[in-house]
Amino acid sequence: MNKVTTYFKESYRELLEKVSWPTWSQLQQSTVIVLVATLVITGVVWAMDLVAQSGLKLIYSFFG
């Protein structure tokens, strides 16, 4: 049980003393970057899905 207590104490101390937390401005910039990247990746996946769907419809039209 002593190891568990030591682990939590050291983790708490590390969070307070050793971790460098971002400023509010840095956090906002990172959030905007993540949102833009998410939208771009979503658009790319949507386009790939649309192309695959159209291609499969074309292939199915030859056989059915």
pLDDT tens, residue order, the chain (64 aa) = 799 999 999 999 999 999 999 999 999 999 999 999 999 999 999 999 999 999 999 999 999 7
Give, in order, the Cα–Cα distances in Å from 23 to each of 26, 28, 35, 52.
Answer: 5, 9, 18, 43
pTM of the model: 0.68
